Amino acid sequence: MLWIFKKAGEQNNRNKEFQFWQQNNHPIQCETNTILGSIMKYLHENPVRAGIVRKEEDYLYSSAIDYYTGGKGLIEIDFL
């Protein structure tokens, strides 16, 4: 994953080497189930887009396995 942080850091002239946190993010108020669902979908898709896993539920530290397969992931969650 270090190469991902390095690539992100190289694209931002405010960094010297690596970037872990996304800069210039914009907060979104979760006032409806539709908005909350789209944010959860976005979070579950991130490891797939990054090339870490092929399916959302394959990422060990994701709640996707709990939501999509009815399985039990590594992290304890409260269903929304």
**Would you report the helix, strand and coil content of the chain in percent, each value rounded to 5?**
45, 0, 55
The verdict on residue 37 lying in a domain is yes
pLDDT in tens, 5-50: 887 777 777 777 887 666 666 777 888 999 999 999 999 999 999 9
The verdict on residue 42 lying in a domain is yes
The verdict on residue 2 lying in a domain is no
Which tops the pLDDT comparison, 66 or 4?
66
pLDDT at 62 exceeding the cut of 80: yes
The alpha carbons of the chain give a radius of gyration, in whole angstroms, of 15
Give the total number of structural domains in the chain: 1
The verdict on residue 11 lying in a domain is no
Domain that holds residue 64: 28-75
Global confidence as pTM: 0.62
